[in-house]
Amino acid sequence: MRIVGLRNQEPNLLPFTIKSQITYYANGYHPLAREVVIGLASELPPAVILAGGLGTRLRPIVSERPKAMALVAGRPFLIHQLQWLQANSVRSVILCLGYKGEQIANYFGDGSSLDLAIIYSWEETPLGTAGALAQAVDLLPHEFLVVNGDTYTVLPLQPLWDAHHEYGAIATLAVAPAQDSSAVGGIELDPDHRIVAFREKESGAKLVSMGIYAATRKLVELIPQSRPCSLEKDIFPHLPRLYGYLSEARFIDIGTPAGYLALDRYLSSSGS
């Protein structure tokens, strides 16, 4: 058993200050505050983790394993994500795997050692974030959560889920303030929280996507089948009823050496 079930434990999740965006880490800032996710009301639907990417940006320092298995504070990064999902009352996870995915499946198995139910969707060739989701269509319930496999956060998921239902959205993206959107997707919201512009990795946006979504199967029906396709570039910019849930929760993308090394230093020093 690699980690014990966390259902009855207080989650030891540490946040980032607003200056903890990836560019700020690279310039030597450090998060100072501490928060925990508590008081979540009910079990949430399954979460899909998109963990099949090639991890090319991280390859110079993590080459022998998939990005989700990169060691952060001495443990595979995916464990930190699964702890966060458990703390937010998610009990079932669908892992979309591709590059070196057998390492992930061999390590986590059916998830029972983590008090989770884990099932797998496999890409024979790289399909991108949307293509991987479409590949998993037979495993998806009517509603579900989606998490990029390189996002670390302490975002409480219940308010995101509640907002998704209030908006009547096909998909609702968790968005956060940022000083630099060149490493992640830039977002523009109208007063009703509808996303009116989605610019993938362009500088200048005041809000960014956290890589966390609430969605319905209608989203998957709009994705071309069996070919590479990106949620951020090909689907979201044209999606009707796409909304944003604005949160001050901190997050970091570990998909670059700067983000990965900063998170490793932070969690190692904090004892997480």
Based on the residue annotation, tell me whether 201 is a catalytic residue of this protein. yes
What number of H helices and E strands is found in the chain? Answer: 7, 13
How far, in Å, are 25, 111, 122, 255, 257 from residue 70 at the CA level?
Answer: 18, 19, 19, 10, 11
b/e sequence 239-256, b meaning 16+ C-beta within 10 Å = beebbbbebebbbbbbbb
Helix (H, G, I), strand (E, B), or coil: what is residue 80? helix
Count other C-beta atoms under 10 Å from residue 106's C-beta.
8
Q: Of these residues, 201, 206, 218, 233, which one is catalytic?
A: 201
22: enclosing H helix or E strand: helix 22-26
- Please give the positions annotated as active site: 201
